[in-house]
Structure 1
Amino acid sequence: MSVISLKRFDGEFRLTWLIRCPQCGAPMVANRTQNRQKDGTKINRLYYSCSNFRNKGSKVCSANSIRKHEAEIYVVDRVKEVIAKPNILKAIVKNINERKKKRIKLLQQQLDHIISKVTELEGRKQIYFDLYEMDGLDKGMFSKRLDDINSELDRLHAQKMELTLELKEDNVEPVSYEVVRLLLDKFDKLLDSSSFDQRKTLMHLIIKQITIKDTRTIDQIEMNFDENTVHHFLTADPSAIHAEGSFAVQMKRRLKGQSISIVI
């Protein structure tokens, strides 16, 4: 098979690398089988199959194939269903905000614990200084204990900085139902109006990953929207600049420096 036909074959698959194997978690890739009927007619069947199985064989994983056409139709239909049924989308947005709230609470508890530990170590450090000045500790012992405390303080300060950044990212206004609805609606409209290559690019831009069940049916579609998403939307559909409530202005303001992740 030539390189050109291989590329064409792979290009037929919009969801390559997006679907995850339910057994090992590896990306699913293009697979094609050919069956011969009793009358001699050949039938090509297209699937997404585990990349580990395709590259390394059955010792590593199984094919866990899922039919190409059914998977791609399901993704598009699921987006349309969520847009068409506000109660579904509202439940999704509510779940996002509840999970976000729980995560913020957990991060804050971890940060408070670290701040408490830092305060305790700083106090212990002062005690050692006082003892040393009163000749209660020899120089060697003083240096060792100080080094141990400073090492632990460095570790805690690094964790504190990391947690503070995570809290800053998460501690933004709750995800808006209307924003998610507009983003999904724009995604859906572009899927309908774009060429095949544009639809594939769009799916790979928006969809983070697709998980499937052991029954080889789609379980969840994880999507992510950020400033790059809005830029792509406007490039693909310049009319969006003047669309519903000025889509461009709303989205750029809402998504500046952050992203919205949803699971449908």
Structure 2
Amino acid sequence: MPSSPTAAARLAYMIGHPIAHTAMPAGVNTWAHDSGTDAIMAPVDVAPEALSDFIAALRSIANCDGAVVTAPHKVAMAEMVDDLTPAARLVGAANVVIRAPDGRLTGDNTDGAGFVAALREAGADPVGQRALLFGCGGAGASIAAALVAAGVARLELVDPDAAKATTLAEALGRSVQRVAVPESVEAHDLVINATAIGLDGTSAVHPLTGLRPSATVGDVVTKPPVTPFLRQAEALGARIQPGSAMALAQIPLVLRLFGWSK
């Protein structure tokens, strides 16, 4: 078994803009090394105006099995691939692209499944929970759909784009509602930041006024490892779920989609 990638290695990319904050390439490459799998994931910083060029190149790389996609490309990627899985079609965003041998690209979305898997692994099953989600972009929409599927009692959506939040709420059913930014989060068992706020290491999406110590607060931002939003939650005694937990929980899903594991 190879201890490092050979010239015959299978390849996947992790694309975003910026990309240096992402946790998945290191996790995938550690798995490949430890399992003796001849494969590698390479992080690539792709600006929005270069996304179509990247997709064209992706189609032509014979030893490439696809790409994992992060902000700001998830919605655009869903519009550019050849097909979408039901999960990606529901939320209009793709965070994984699977490349077929003929170059055909299929978009999938594992953000929500990864987020919920991480919650359950940490002992915070969302069944029956009252959840508040900030951000209805690619990751937020996927997390919202997964929370509904997991059985939350109620899900409230906050987004500066009211139409986007309303459309998502209508697609997900009566337990989901768009709301204005609440003054207090006292009524919520689960509070989630699915925006990029916090990536600068200084900003938080909400002051978490009224947060109960029994609540769980999650973030999709992976760097800093503990965002200002999560630091606030910790100081109030709540359980936290960092963005890296969602990313790492998706690795088994991504490996199977690329055909690298069973």
Q: Same fold (TM over 0.5)?
A: no
Higher relative contact order, chain-length normalized (CA < 8 Å, sep 6+): 1
Q: Rg bigger for which structure?
A: 1
TM-score w.r.t. the length of structure 1 is 0.25
TM-score w.r.t. the length of structure 2 is 0.25
- Larger proportion of strand: 2
